[in-house]
């Protein structure tokens, strides 16, 4: 993720026009937060409610692929169906001038990856507290809708300044027992190599919440 002055630096990235200072789908874009596997994430302001949001906009080069559009929409649907204090909340999703987007809760803080790199080995009590909060988020997703995250890793764990956890990035989330698509064919590995469970590494379709528990342990 590029280092940015959150309010002043203007960036130009391949595949995406600079948006700072522009209005996108009613949101006033402030600055780039980073890029993930599916697109760019911007800090933006929602004037009507006077709040900041994290605005994820699908990368243009992926928007032409129907399978990636399905995955992007699935992320919005999965996250919007869950309401929990330890999950990043989705406010809205849609398409604006041919670009797919998700407006989410803006977490003022840092990722668990940033914390580990900055602090080194975490205090055991702090590590336990973070682990419990992630587990609570995963438990809610499973109990509420049998949703498994499938991509639990430090980069997807956001920490507020009060060290409250928000688990985000539901791009690989899957409802167990729900319909499958070519995105989840047998033999296709889904997730991040250093954190996925053995069954994910083998590309098995029939996985459940135990895969997330394994990834949490690796995290």
Enclosing H/E stretch for 43: strand 39-46
Residue 35 confidence (pLDDT): 80
In a structure prediction context, what are the per-residue pLDDT tens digits for the chain, which is 219 residues long?
333 333 433 444 445 567 888 999 999 999 998 887 778 899 999 999 999 999 999 988 888 899 888 888 887 887 888 899 999 999 999 999 989 999 999 999 999 999 999 988 899 999 999 999 999 999 999 998 888 888 899 999 999 999 999 998 775 566 665 544 434 443 344 557 788 888 888 877 778 889 899 999 998
Domains of the chain with CATH codes = 23-105 (3.30.200.20), 109-218 (1.10.510.10)
**Which pLDDT belongs to residue 153?**
92
DSSP secondary structure code for residue 37 in this structure: S
Decide: pTM greater than 0.85.
no
**Mind telling me the catalytic residues?**
151
As a whole number of angstroms, the distance between CA 214 and CA 219 comes to: 9
In whole angstroms, what is the distance from residue 31 CA to residue 208 CA? 37
Q: State the DSSP H helix or E strand holding residue 119, giving kind and residue range, or none if neither.
A: helix 112-119
pLDDT of residue 24: 95
Contact criterion met (CB below 8 Å) for 163 and 85? no
Question: Phi/psi at 140 (nearest 5 deg)?
Answer: -65, -45
Rounded Cα distance, 214 and 202, in Å: 14
């Amino acid at each position: 993720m590029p280092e940015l002055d959150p309010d002043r630096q203007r960036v130009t990235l391949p595949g995406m026009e600079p948006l700072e200072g522009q209005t996108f789908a009613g949101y006033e874009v402030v600055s780039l937060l980073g890029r993930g596997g599916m697109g760019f994430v911007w800090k933006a302001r929602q004037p009507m409610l006077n709040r900041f949001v994290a605005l994820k906009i699908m990368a243009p080069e992926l928007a032409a692929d129907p399978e990636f559009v399905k995955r992007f929409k699935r992320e919005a649907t999965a996250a919007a169906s869950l309401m929990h204090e330890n999950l990043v909340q989705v406010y809205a999703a849609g398409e604006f001038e041919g670009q797919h987007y998700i407006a989410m809760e803006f977490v003022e803080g840092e990722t668990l990856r940033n914390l580990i790199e900055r602090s080194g080995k975490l205090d055991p009590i702090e590590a336990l507290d973070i682990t419990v909060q992630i587990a609570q988020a995963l438990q809610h997703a499973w109990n509420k809708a049998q949703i498994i995250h499938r991509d639990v890793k430090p980069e997807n764990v956001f920490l507020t300044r009060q060290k409250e956890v928000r688990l985000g990035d539901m791009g690989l989330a899957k409802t167990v027992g729900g319909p499958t698509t070519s995105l989840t064919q047998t033999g296709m590995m889904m997730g991040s190599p250093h954190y996925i469970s053995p069954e994910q590494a083998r590309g098995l379709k029939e996985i459940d919440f135990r895969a997330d528990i394994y990834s949490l342990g690796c995290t």
